Structure 1
Amino acid sequence: MERDVDVIVVGAGGCGLTAAIAAAEAGASVALLEKEERAGGNTWLSTGSVPAAGSRFQKEAGVQDSPEIMAADLLRKSGPHDAESTVELLARESASLVEWLVDDHQVDLRLITDYKHVGHSITRLHAPAARKGEFLVKDLVAAAERLGVEVVTGNPVAGLLIEDGAVVGVRVAGERSGEYELRAGAVVLAANGFGGNREMLRQWIPEIAEAQYFGAHGSTGEAIAWSEELGSQVGNMGAYQGYAAVAYLHGSIVSWTTVEMGACLLSPSGERMGDESVGYSAFAPVVSAVTEESWVVLDQRIRDYVLGNEEEFRDLVEMGGLAEAADEAAVARIIGADEATVAASLEEFAQAAQGNRPDPFGRTDFGFGPLGRPYYVVRSVPALFHTQGGVTVTDTAAVVHADGTTIPGLFAGGGVAAGVSGRDGADGYSSGNGLLTAIGLGRIAGLSAARTAGEE
């Protein structure tokens, strides 16, 4: 078959960049197409945290972990779902994945030891030193370029080329790129999920469809739609990653480490809304069911601790995102709530944190303990970050028909593939699940696509 390149990768976020690196390393010529003007996608907006079990970085830190423990943790958080085999696959591959990125491709990932984060019983998140996804993206772009792969931005793929039931390339159509066809031995779909597509959200995840969306604008679901047109099977389409506290108007996440260290969230009336320790994703629909905005309340110890560990939180502080409140009355004034209500909420929270009485919402983990004066208050909104459903893939990241057979020449990962965060809702999301399927399936898809192209 006539071809322009061996492998086409659609989308240059974490998944697409990793797929391109893996394919090029295997000897394939690669075209990496990105519809936006910058690589990165949701990976750029993330903390860059990739969970890995049994990595040498864990061993050096004295952390005992295994793929079996990691898979059990993720499935405990997610519950039963349509991609359980993917959980086990990615857990097995996770340590070699992180070591491959660091050792072979100069990607700066370091074990986070000061917190476990949601869903993990062991410290296994590996992230850039600054804990910002943009640094992960920059390292991946540099690695791709060293292998001769250029990120071709401003080139939106408009559809797949099909011959005799096999995917043989893509059709590009954009204002800057113009229209053209590109043929290849295999195509990897790495164009993320459908968080930016209100119509698809209303179809699949109505509970969060009208919430503010803080993911990448390019995540509009067309790659899932193309696969469905070919008869692909989809799974976990009702699952998503939410975030309960995005700083308003700053657009930066209020680090959930604040909550893990003992912060709480108050509604506009000054009342708590539930057990915040369930996690930033699971707590998002709890907040959105009550209010369009809320307030994170922390203290000096928490502020200083997170400030010293997380650059994005430091940026939020420097932008003036935290308001200092000398006492409960000042917190009430910032919120615009009744002083007695705020005082009662914070007193009840303090009593639970001290162990004097059970928390009415069942929270048992209070980090540093009761909040102390002065308080710090951050105005925030609940948001949708990333959909977690997509097409069903095999252990080689091949896209699966509804009858169980694979679609020749087509591979997928990241937000295009069925995720590992449960079937429905936001409470099945463990920290790093998005990047686990992006980077993990990206590597597998790139290798598989290169192998397929080579066989042809």
Structure 2
Amino acid sequence: MTARKNSVTAPPEHFDMDIDTLIIGAGACGLVAALSARESGREVLVVEADAVPSGSTALSAGLIPAAGSRMQRAAGIEDTPELFAADIQAKAQGQNDPALVDLLARNAGGVIDWLADRFGLPFSVVTDFDYPGHARRRMHGLPSRSGAELIDALRAVCEAEGIDIVCERRAEQLYVTPDRSQVCGVALACPDGAVEQIGCTRLILACNGFGGNRDLVAQHMPQIADALWFGHDGNRGEAVQWGAQIGAQTRHMGAFQGHGNVAHPHGILITWATITEGGVQVNRDGRRFWNEAQGYSEAARAVLAQPGGEVFTIFDSRIADIARQFEDFKRAEAQGAIKTADSIEDLAAQLHLPAEALAQTLADIPQDGTDGYGRRFGSPPLTSPYCGARVTGALFHTQGGLEVDQTARVLGLDGTPIPNLFAGGGAACGVSGAGDSGYLSGNGLLSAVVLGRIAGAAV
């Protein structure tokens, strides 16, 4: 049998296998959902299209924002879910569903503590710099500050818990009852071209956004349609396509996480700490062109609007020392993406920038005050040795998706939940508002782990 890709149809007479809880996608959301479901006593199967679990999580820094965790308390950081929720809404200009924001903000700290205490994941809080839009230091990560480390740790825990993760199985067809009110299972495409039909009592869509589907990107977010795609290639939008066919609600389909600090042509993410600690971005003329404090997602559009869609991030060795806690930054250094020089003139030569203009740009940065773009500076001035990287703007992840209720169930167009269909991660609508200016650092993983935890445990 051959499945028609991304279709919804009536179930077969017999499934090859039946499972209680089937999870599509072995990223952070899917693996957390699996752990949660197993803890609740459910039989669980996770299917993953890739040869090994990775997803968008593995491409990120693996940092999860949470308020009120024991790690925050140990670091002496006073924070509350209410303050966290206010930060999310402020960044998204109040466009988010308040109930969803409250759900994520209230549960994030508990999910971090659960992963650390129950499964031994060694989370700690990033305490040496601030992320844009966060009123407190609440970014939690594993020692390498790497999404790949987070995925590997979650996978190892799942394996230790006896959870089956079957890779190289891409879900291509959704089986539903004739009235399309309940999900029955899925058809999985195998590497040899065969199709496996899996029935389930509950289905959790933890599979993907749609950033890898350029047609959907052009339809919903034309302003970034030509950006470098820096996300996971598996993000092709099956979840929202299935949702459209069964009458599910979607929300904020134009929202996305961009990133305006991707080393070019190396394709390596350069941490935004290079900016928050006092660095700046300049164009080919050696001139600044915007208020970098707005954030790295907004930077994607600002950078792409510059000649050639490329700019240069300028910082110094003090900032580089902070950035080295991130594996991506160390990899960028190893591949020669980070240039270092004892003088501005030498740095300009290495980056092929006009030295006089670059020197004047750096001289114009206020040591303590607000510049003409509205950015407030309070960090030490940039000093020798100077550092720089050629970067471009990229689309990292879409943030719109299926709308869910307080138990992560997918909602139909009439507002009632589809009884046994759940969504989280890239498949579900996140909390970045309606457009491109509401992405708060960590929103994607926040939604992934909290909705994964809730979906897995839901009755």
Aligned-partner SS, 1:68: helix
Question: Does residue 386 of structure 1 match 2:403?
Answer: no
Shift of 1:335: 3.2
Query: How many pairs are equivalent?
Result: 442
User: Any unmatched runs of 5+ in structure 1?
Assistant: 452-456
The 1-side partners of 2:163 and 2:448 are apart by 19
- 1:432 is matched with which residue: 442, 447, 458? 442
What does the per-residue CA deviation read over 1:72-120, in whole Å, with 9 as the maximum and x for residues that have no partner?
A: 1111111122433211001111111001111112222112211231221
Amino acid at match of 2:295: G
Counterparts of residues 18-417 of structure 1 (less than 5 Å): 18-163=32-177, 164=179, 165-176=181-192, 178-291=194-307, 292-307=309-324, 309-349=325-365, 352-355=366-369, 358-367=370-379, 369-417=380-428
Q: TM-score, normalised by structure 1?
A: 0.93
Shift of 1:177: 6.2
The 2-side partners of 1:103 and 1:123 are apart by 21
Are the aligned partners of 1:295 and 1:377 in contact in 2 as well (CA < 8 Å)?
yes
Are the aligned partners of 2:129 and 2:277 in contact in 1 as well (CA < 8 Å)?
no
Are the aligned partners of 2:29 and 2:452 in contact in 1 as well (CA < 8 Å)?
yes
Aligned-partner SS, 2:293: helix
Shift of 1:260: 1.1
Give the stretch that moved more between structures: 141-150 or 221-230.
Answer: 141-150
Alignment partner, residue 9 of structure 2: none
Shift of 1:366: 4.3
The 1-side partners of 2:109 and 2:21 are apart by 26
Shift of 1:327: 2.6
Are the aligned partners of 1:113 and 1:123 in contact in 2 as well (CA < 8 Å)?
yes
The 2-side partners of 1:166 and 1:306 are apart by 48
Shift of 1:329: 2.5
Shift of 1:315: 2.6
Please identify runs of 4+ aligned residues in structure 1 that moved more than 4 A.
none
Instruction: Give RMSD over aligned pairs.
Output: 1.6
Aligned-partner SS, 1:424: coil
Shift of 1:15: 0.5
Are the aligned partners of 1:116 and 1:124 in contact in 2 as well (CA < 8 Å)?
no
Shift of 1:430: 1.0
Are the aligned partners of 1:6 and 1:29 in contact in 2 as well (CA < 8 Å)?
yes
Are the aligned partners of 1:260 and 1:365 in contact in 2 as well (CA < 8 Å)?
no
What does the per-residue CA deviation read over 1:163-195, in whole Å, with 9 as the maximum and x for residues that have no partner?
A: 142101111123336202100101000112111
Alignment partner, residue 7 of structure 2: none
The 2-side partners of 1:84 and 1:174 are apart by 41
Amino acid at match of 2:444: G
Shift of 1:302: 1.4
Q: Percent identity?
A: 39
Are the aligned partners of 2:310 and 2:393 in contact in 1 as well (CA < 8 Å)?
yes
Q: TM-score, normalised by structure 2?
A: 0.93
Shift of 1:303: 1.7
What does the per-residue CA deviation read over 1:205-235, in whole Å, with 9 as the maximum and x for residues that have no partner?
A: 1111110011111111111110111111111
Inter-CA distance 312–337: structure 2 relative to 1 (3 Å threshold): closer
Alignment partner, residue 454 of structure 1: none
What does the per-residue CA deviation read over 1:51-70, in whole Å, with 9 as the maximum and x for residues that have no partner?
A: 11111111122111111111
The 2-side partners of 1:62 and 1:175 are apart by 51
The 1-side partners of 2:406 and 2:284 are apart by 47
The 2-side partners of 1:341 and 1:125 are apart by 36
Shift of 1:237: 1.0
Shift of 1:435: 0.3
Inter-CA distance 354–53: structure 2 relative to 1 (3 Å threshold): closer
What does the per-residue CA deviation read over 1:2-29, in whole Å, with 9 as the maximum and x for residues that have no partner?
A: 8711011011100111111111111111
User: Any unmatched runs of 5+ in structure 2?
Assistant: 1-13
Shift of 1:399: 0.4
The 2-side partners of 1:35 and 1:49 are apart by 24
Shift of 1:44: 0.8
Shift of 1:331: 3.2
Amino acid at match of 1:372: T
